[in-house]
Structure 1
């Protein structure tokens, strides 16, 4: 891949990030790319939080991937710090190009740099292709996740 840059997201990246979030069957139901106001407010909260890393992958001036990495200090596992990878999205033109692997590799390395002992992520139960992708990268399906909408 030529001239790929993984960098912190800026407010100018919000439209491209939201478009990627909305560009799949699940995202199409829950995202609203026509109203960026709630995303801008959320972006402001994320960038003010020192435990958050919201990044984009950019090539030739185009935002083509994104993810959010959250660093969580904790008491369990003898006081281990862990990270959670969320919101991994690749532009539809770039899927299958290896960009997802590069983004995850960035997140794992940043987790090491932050002295994390564990990297975890969740993936919707219907995303079987994503499950295979994460398993190929060394992640194990070790837990059953639960959510409650509020």
Structure 2
């Protein structure tokens, strides 16, 4: 990637770009609603995230263009002697930059940020229908040490 990637906290003006990235793949296209105007559910979620000091919605930008996004949640635990951990969710990059290292830079930034926040662990999940994503995270150093379970409500 020739131009420098900058990371910053997302603003409400970024929501349209964020939802577009979330909807732009085979799984996201089934569950997201990228339409104009955006459904108010996205605005409410954004407000909940930004009002919580343990949640951060971070965008990657080249110039003024949003090219990536991730949400990081910081959680205190009683386990591990009361340590904190970070959870990464909703990692996406713009189709225009896929395969150019933006995803790697997003995750490296999140790891460094979690260290700065005093976390002892960083975790994430990826859908089993995304084998390329699993390989991507393993290349960065993540290990599938636990079996994750979900229950749709």
TM-score interval (norm. to shorter): over 0.9
For 2:81 and 2:39, the matched residues in 1 are separated by 41
Contact conserved, 1:8 with 1:55, CA < 8 A, in 2? yes
The answer to whether residue 57 in structure 2 is matched with residue 59 in structure 1 is no
For 1:141 and 1:119, the matched residues in 2 are separated by 12
| Structure 1 consecutive aligned stretches of length 4 or more whose deviation exceeds 4 Å | none
Q: Who is 2:40 aligned against?
A: 37
Q: Who is 1:4 aligned against?
A: 5
RMSD (Å) for aligned C-alpha atoms: 0.8
**Gap runs ≥5 in structure 2:** none
For 1:73 and 1:113, the matched residues in 2 are separated by 15
* SS at 1:148 equivalent: coil
Q: Who is 1:68 aligned against?
A: 71
**Gap runs ≥5 in structure 1:** none
Contact conserved, 1:81 with 1:117, CA < 8 A, in 2? yes
For 1:3 and 1:147, the matched residues in 2 are separated by 37
In the alignment of these two chains, the number of paired residues is 150
TM-score (normalizing by structure 1):
0.97
**Deviation (angstroms), 1:60:** 2.6
**Deviation (angstroms), 1:3:** 3.1
